[in-house]
Structure 1
Amino acid sequence: MSMEMGNGTTVQEFTLEGFPALQHLGKVLFLVHLLAYVASTVGNAVIITITCADSRLHTPMYLFLSIFSFLECGVLNTVIPKLLLIFLLGRQTISFPACFIQAFITVFLGAVAFLLIAVMSLDRYVAICKPLHYPTIMNLKTCSLLVTVCFTLPFPFITGPLIKFSQLSFCGPLIIPHFFCDVGPLIHLSCSDTRSFEMLTFALALFILITSLIITIIAYSNIVVTIIRLPSAKEKQRAFSTCSSHLIVLSLMYGSCVFIYVKPKQANRLDSNREAALVNTVVTPLLNPVIYTLRNKQVHQALKETMCRMKISR
């Protein structure tokens, strides 16, 4: 698959602009982002490992959390290594196949993550609002079906537009004003009529975000009502603390993605999109292990026991 320039020549590569205003701080930014990248990867990998290793964590909540961490690792390893090369070595070029793959993976995994967040909200709703029926409702079959839907539903919606995207022509210069191959900035490099494609991209992003957001709002509205009715003040405080942690991550993800994607006219705000995308690809994956799991006493206990077993085995 290849794209063509307006003069009929084949596009071989693009240039990622990165953060040109901060390029003189390249080595410092490289170190900062390298540390964030390593911490995020290790933190999410720990969540996945602990969930798989400890049978007490073989529950729907931790299954969804481990899959969410897997998605975060996928986005991190798709975007950040190239950003580190830009900061350290100034290697801004990216081949068309690599750019296309990067765009597909980031959009696909992002869509799956938002649907998974809605599923996690439903899981918390059933656990808090219908605790007696929780083992029956959220059984292995149901969990597997929900995860399968999260991965399969976005695929045709994303693949179709990206195939159409591959048929666009480009007039140059092929400089992407971003630090990775995001769909929005790529659209504005085309000399084809992209109005229908822009509206399609907008509609699909809106559909994924709104669907996930509506499910999440309905679930948490019922959770809040149930928590208010709890007789014990300690139970209320603990439940609200769990919800607040979840909502912090939700706010970061929804806020940054609405800012980036749910705008019919993106050309005027591509620069600010970079900062919002950086929050979504670096900051959020770094916070997730802390907010979602590592504050959990059950995970703390499992982590301590696993580390003790590793020391004993040595």
Structure 2
Amino acid sequence: MAQKPTVFIDGEAGTTGLGIRERLLSLPVQIHSVDPRRRKDPEARADAMAACDLVVLCLPDKASREAVGMIDSMAASGGRTPKVLDASTAFRTSSDWAYGFPELSSDQPEIIRQAARVSNPGCYPTGAIALLRPLIDAGVVPSDFPVAINAVSGYTGGGRGMIEEQERDGGPPFLLYGLGLAHKHIPEIERHAGLTRRPLFVPSVGHFPRGMIVSVPLHLDLLNRNARAEDLKRILEEYYCDSAFISVCEAESTLIADALAGSDKMELRIHCNAQHQHIVLTARLDNLGKGASGAAIQNIALMLGVSPD
């Protein structure tokens, strides 16, 4: 029997790392761990990287860049170099890295499968790109359209500090942030959605652990090809018809943000007021599922050529 590929999660004690480790149990892989007392020891980490087929980086941006530098040094010295999946924002717009959104296009799964380095998408961009990319590719939404994106996420997306604050002190019921309009996910959304004009993006956090809704309001009369809501729905349905994770659902009068908590699925909807020619595109997902660890497992399976047991 062939030996199972080995995976090392650098930063496995964090929220995303723990989620990936749990989900890895569904794949035919071996998990290589470092003694918790040495998880920040560069030598122990380098040894673990050298011993594995794939390294998953669940680290802040600066630490991810340093870890990639360690792997580059291994390659320069002729050592065995693993594939890398990075969960930070450090490489999501880099032309040297494959973007880990398998549903981005028909050839994206093969790009990820062949890549040595893959960047895992952000949670907010996952929803925004899933809604916008098909419509821009179809020529219905102009690439230079002045897009505005609003989103609300569960507080687990804010990392350990926010989680502790929310669960210890109760936290605010609703927190609007990123009001400098320079959120670090904007370049990722712009690049991978196919936009040529920088979008407005205003994120927020609600007092619930997991879940997310990304919404994009549009004026129908400003779109190309005299598009109607049913045209947009058809485009999305055709784009994701083969996806096991993304579904296009009927519009609802209300949406609960945490309805997909614990799931790796994402639901897309088009809400329309035909009289006023207004629509709102929505994506609902779990910020720790399809928005993080669930997406990582999709990418790991492709990168290692394995399927769930």
Normalised to the residue count of structure 1, the TM-score between the two structures is 0.32
Give 1 or 2: higher helix fraction.
1
* Greater RCO (CA < 8 Å, at least 6 residues apart): 1
Which of the two has higher C-alpha Rg? Answer: 1
Normalised to the residue count of structure 2, the TM-score between the two structures is 0.32
